[in-house]
Amino acid sequence: MPSSAAHSLLGAARELTQSLGKLRFAAPVAHVYDPLQYAWAPYEAYVTRYGAGRKRVVLLGMNPGPFGMMQTGVPFGEVAAVRDWMGLAGEVRSPPRQHPKRPIEGFACRRSEVSGRRLWGWAARRFGTAPAFFDEWFVLNYCPLVFLEESGRNFTPDKLPAAERRTVQAACDRHLAAALAALQPQWAIGVGGFAERCLRAVLEGEAIDSALARRIQVAQILHPSPASPAANRGWDAAVDRTLAGLGVLPVA
């Protein structure tokens, strides 16, 4: 039986996916995947096992990567990290319309999600076990949707036309506000600039309790994407420096 925090997170996620499922998107978006629909089972297992109780730190990503959450339903869901380090599994069904270049293979996916490998690899080295990390930390994504162009190229939500972006943001903001209310973190840290801006917008808005918003400190860490030259020069060390400077973690 999920804890009250996990129950709230799962309820907010169901509401989010229902709201987003009603939306339609114009070109260049050709395919939209929602892992909270077809990979709900592993996401539910993730939240139920690791989303119990208050967390000191919440890390927020932007949206799923093609070989991470898009396959496993877990934020930054590198298959090996989810299966072997977190000990999670669950049915991953096929979405209704798959792009031939971006098939959903679930836990059978052999491609590596670099961002997820870096983030969860850092967590494993810094904390050891998954329960030790999740005792005070949790990881969420702002938007659960994957947007693909006709070519199969990823299309990030920040590039949506203004009207489409507003409708997506409205649903994602409600979910983020509910998640922060459930987890009651001291720190909310964006993995990259987009996620940090989303956090600040929600905490300055009306969807969240003002007293809670004042208690949460917001910061940013470098995104672990391989498209980032800075991340490729040593993401772990950069994140350790940032978190130590903020006082979130002791110097490694």
Contacts 24+ apart (CB under 8 A), 85-89: 85/120, 85/124, 85/130, 86/46, 86/49, 86/50, 86/120, 86/130, 87/49, 87/130, 88/42, 88/45, 88/46, 88/49, 89/42, 89/45
8 Å CB contact between 75 and 157: no
Q: Which two tokens stand for residue 200?
A: 């600040």
Q: How high is the pLDDT of residue 96?
A: 84
The model's pTM: 0.96
Sequence ranges of the domains in the chain = 4-245
With contact defined as beta carbons under 8 Å apart, do 185 and 248 qualify? no
Whether the CA torsion 31, 34, 37, 39 is positive or negative: it is positive
Architecture of domain 4-245: 3-Layer(aba) Sandwich (3.40)
Q: Strand pairing of 187-191 and 146-149?
A: unpaired
Give residue 51's pLDDT. Answer: 97
User: Which amino acid is residue 4, in one-letter code?
Assistant: S
Which pLDDT belongs to residue 99?
92
Q: Report d(CA 117, CA 113) in Å as an integer.
A: 6
Ramachandran area for residue 76 (φ above 0: left; ψ -120 to 50: alpha; else beta): left
Predicted pLDDT of residue 138:
98
* Kind plus residue range of the DSSP H or E element containing 9: helix 4-21
pLDDT of residue 1: 54
Alpha-carbon gap, residue 194 to 63, rounded angstroms: 10
Give the pLDDT score at 9: 98
Which stretches in the chain have pLDDT values below 50? none
